[in-house]
Structure 1
Amino acid sequence: MFLRLLVGTSTIFISLILGAFALAVVGYNSPETLSTMLAWARDLKGVITSTGIDPKYNIWVELLLEERQLLFMFFTIAARILLALLAAPFMSR
């Protein structure tokens, strides 16, 4: 059980690092692509905040959710998927 917890925690940590690295690589090698992705994140934030949620809650979503966070989450999730695909052949039950 401890080994499973260690593997899960390390996967999350490594995916955060890989996501940040991938974000930096895309920004350095193709800034126009990163700018386009940031515009998509801005549009996604607009979709999320215009869902008709009670204003009492929606104001917090608008205040706390930023485009940069959404973009970083995308790269982190992509890194998680990549790590899972790479680790799948080695993980056996």
Structure 2
Amino acid sequence: MPKNKSKAEKLAGKLISTLQKVWGEQTGEAQSEASETVMKLGHTLLQAGSAEAMKEVLNGRSVAQYLGDIWLEKNPSVKPIVRELNSEIYNAND
């Protein structure tokens, strides 16, 4: 039987898709290594599954702080999903 994913988990999946797109566009460029590191951090959030577990991973930080504010400034296409995921994590009741 398929697992019912939490909204936070679904948003983390969208984050991974967005990060993969950015990373793919940067392949062969100097910043692709930093993007790969950010993608690994995103996978850690996805594996946490629930908003509560993601809060533990974040340890009081926002998703933007966790992924890296400077990296996000250089990759603004990721900001909307980061904001949406952050809002879900810190406002969810799961």
TM-score of the pair, normalised by structure 1 = 0.37
Q: Which has the larger radius of gyration?
A: 1
Greater RCO, 1 or 2 (C-alpha within 8 Å, sep 6+): 1
